Amino acid sequence: MSTANSYIAELREVTKRFEEKTVLDHVSLKVRSQERLVILGQSGSGKSTILRLILGILMPDEGSVFFKQFEITRLPRRKLQRIRRHIGMVYQYSALLSSRPVRDNVALPLEELTDKSREEIDKIVDEKLELVGMKDSKNLMPSELSGGMKKRVSLARALVLEPELILFDEPVAGLDPVMASVIDELVINLSEKSKVTCVVVTHEMDSAFRIATRMAMLYHGKIIEEGTPEEMKKSRNPVVSQFLTGSTEGPILEETKDAITT
């Protein structure tokens, strides 16, 4: 089986449970080549789980996950490792190694997954750090970096293997509005210049609407709506409308109140 050529990743009827809790319930989602797909949803709704399924860190309990024509859920470990070279990941808390300087953190995928020389690796690291505006910081330790700087270093590391797809887990979480805008613009510019596909998980609405070319809303383990940012703004689904506006009136809080009173 294979995905259509226009899709770089796909979930087909995917269910994922953690103990008794069903986080994803027969979710189907297609990621189109060179789009910036933003997945919206409440904290704990399963957004990050989708990223980990695409990366092959988690496996579904039911359904299939594809990267291009490859079914992630059926690949042997060695083949899966090769596929992962085409997918970059920017983690919510940057996931930098605290004991190694910026240069070493960015070089890590190249050192572990390629046989490039030190000189070749240094050249690539410099290129990617320059791309994210961090070339002068390569000798700094992570403890010397601000939150926004750590995000940019994490993005540079995700870029070193020239991925076709980059997954972002809450890329602007914990950042002030100005730095959040800087990161958003960086994601947009990189996706357009490098022709890379982006899947972004967030519940920050300003960031979501700035980045997205398409959106999908996850609620109670299901994708309840998909569309362009403009289509999502016009949604008649009360859950989508409440989530996008941040209103205290609507079904999301009503469920919480019902749970407390029963």
CATH topology of domain 33-56+76-261: Rossmann fold (3.40.50)
Query: Per-residue pLDDT for the chain (262 aa), expressed as one digit of tens each?
Result: 444 446 899 999 999 999 889 999 999 999 999 999 999 988 888 899 999 999 999 999 999 999 999 999 889 988 988 898 899 998 877 788 889 999 999 999 999 888 899 999 999 999 999 988 898 999 999 999 988 899 889 989 999 999 999 999 988 888 888 988 988 998 999 888 888 999 999 888 899 999 999 999 999 999 999 999 999 999 999 999 999 888 888 888 766 554 434 4
Distances (CA, A) of 225 to 46, 80, 189, 232: 15, 31, 27, 8
Residue type, 130: E
Q: What is the DSSP string of 34-49?
A: T-EEEEE--TTSSHHH
* Domain residue spans of the chain: 33-56+76-261
| Residue for token pair 């809080």 | 253
